Structure 1
Amino acid sequence: MLKTQSRYAIDPATAKTLDTDQLRDHFHVGGLFADGEISLVYSHYDRLILGSAVPKGGALTLDKVAEAGTPSILDRREMGVLNIGDAGTVEVGGKKYQIDNGEVLYIGMGSGPVTFSGNGRYYILSAPAHQTYPTTLIKLADARRVEMGAPETANERVIIQLLHPDVHPSCQLVMGYTQFAQGSVWNTMPAHTHDRRMEAYLYFQLPEEQRVFHMMGEPTQTRHIIMANEEAVISPPWSIHAGAGTSSYTFCWAMAGDNVDFTDMDMIAIGDLR
């Protein structure tokens, strides 16, 4: 079963007038990871598609998506698939890839239908592409690991870069995830923006009764959205994207836009936030 929806881009002046429900309607993505479903959100920020597939021991095939406007979703797109569940299999172009927890499968433009099977819980990201790069399983041993933060600032963490220029080429999709040490809860602080690229976060490995307060908005007009486990949030290019949890957690970050430079950030001093 395939479920799709669209989210339209809005400007920062409009965003600061929104109440809680309206903010969630535009930026919060819930209802992901339903058994037996592929669920996709087509964002008009850099045309990023994000979503999930949960075959629950069966098989689900992703092919035509009306919002993409092509016979098959990958005709003019690339895709990254992160498995946050048990080991599973993704079949692309007649080849099967076993994806373990925490691994990413990069799928190049023009690869045709994608079939998800097994007990994986697959997080899907797709962006427009201009050329084909090889479909590749990126294992944890291949990832670039960057350790940052400290216990005294409650942000001790490791950034695991999987779809990144130093690991595997892509047209514009960059992705990985950040894991926090026990007792650390602050992500992406000091905050930043990058007006040349949008971003999306998936929060996971968050205990069911805990929450993350996701910070967004212009630096002088911040707002928050409360996130539960396995929920995603869309971050516009003009917005900060940071957060603090009521416990430790992991989040997958993904970017699409003008470049693939992970360090292309416009930093915001903590004292300048409002």
Structure 2
Amino acid sequence: MSAISLKTLHAVHYNDAKHYTTQQLREQFLLLELENNDAISLTYMHYDRMITGIAKPIFNNLVLPTYTNLKSDYFLERREIGIINTGAGRGTITVDGIVFELNKYDCLYIGKGVKDVVFSSATANDPAVFFLQS
């Protein structure tokens, strides 16, 4: 089972934001703790219902889960996703049984309707780090 997290950031009205302290601005707009080993860490933002995050498989395959917030049976039931390997090592993304190899800075687009997405790294010493945008 993969470690997963989904943080939610709610939209902020611009009249409120202009009175925020530096700390409040950081809490509302800065995405921290996205890169965790052997985990998928995502942030759901109420601006355009965007989800961004990182999948960093080292020793385990990581399965893209669904979340109750999405109100769907699987993550890409009504969403699309773009993925870039920003890590030093080669990785693979298995999309409904089809394997795609991504070297550093290679990208992959996955359209809506795909049920199974699995992330893995070729080696633990140089893991892939997949930046996700949906």
TM-score by length of 1: 0.45
Structure 1, residues 243-266: CA drift from partner, whole Å, max 9, x if none?
xxxxxxxxxxxxxxxxxxxxxxxx
- Partners of 1:63 and 1:112 within 8 A in 2: no
Q: Which residue of 2 aligns with 1:14?
A: 16
Q: Secondary structure at the match of 1:29?
A: coil
- The residue that corresponds to 1:92 in the other structure is 95
User: Which residue identity does 2:128 align to in structure 1?
Assistant: G
Q: CA deviation at 1:57?
A: 3.7
Provide the rounded CA distance (Å) in 2 between the counterparts of 1:32 and 1:59.
Answer: 18
Quote the offset at 1:92 in angstroms: 0.5
Alignment partner, residue 46 of structure 2: 44
* Alignment correspondent of 2:132: 124
Aligned-residue identity in percent: 34
Letter in structure 2 aligned against 1:123: F
Report SS of the residue matched to 1:39.
strand
Mapping 1:152-191, distance limit 5 Å: none
The answer to whether 1:104 aligns with 2:107 is yes
Of 115, 119, 124 in structure 1, the residue corresponding to residue 118 of structure 2 is 115
User: Which aligned segments of 4 or more residues in structure 1 are displaced greater than 3 angstroms?
Assistant: none
Between structure 1 and structure 2, the one with the greater Rg is: 1
Equivalences for residues 182-201 of structure 1 within 5 A: none
Q: What's 2:4 paired with?
A: 2
Deviation at 1:68, TM superposition (A): 1.2
Q: TM-score, normalised by structure 2?
A: 0.91
Contiguous gaps of at least 5 residues in structure 1: 127-274
AA aligned to 1:113 is D
| Aligned counterpart in structure 1 of residue 28 of structure 2, from 26, 29, 33 | 26
Q: Find out whether 1:76 has 2:84 as its counterpart.
A: no
Alpha-carbon distance in structure 2 between the residues aligned to 1:46 and 1:110 = 20
Q: What amino acid sits opposite 2:56 in the alignment?
A: V
CA-CA distance at 1:103 after TM superposition: 1.2
How far does residue 63 in structure 1 lie from its aligned partner after superposition? 2.4
Q: CA deviation at 1:12?
A: 1.1
Q: Distance in 2 between matches of 1:67 and 1:103?
A: 29
Amino acid at match of 2:26: R
**Paired amino acid for 1:79:** I
1:93 CA drift (Å): 1.0
Instruction: Report the Cα offset of residue 58 of structure 1.
Output: 2.3
Amino acid at match of 1:67: N
Give the aligned residue type for 1:98. Answer: E
Q: How many angstroms does 1:66 deviate by?
A: 1.9
Q: Which runs of 5+ in 2 are unaligned?
A: 122-126
SS state of the match for residue 49, structure 2?
coil
Q: Is the strand fraction higher in 1 or 2? A: 1
TM-superposed deviation, 1:107: 0.3
Counterparts of 1:58 and 1:92, CA distance in 2: 17
Deviation of 1:54 after TM superposition, in Å, equals 0.5
Aligned partner of 2:118: which letter? T
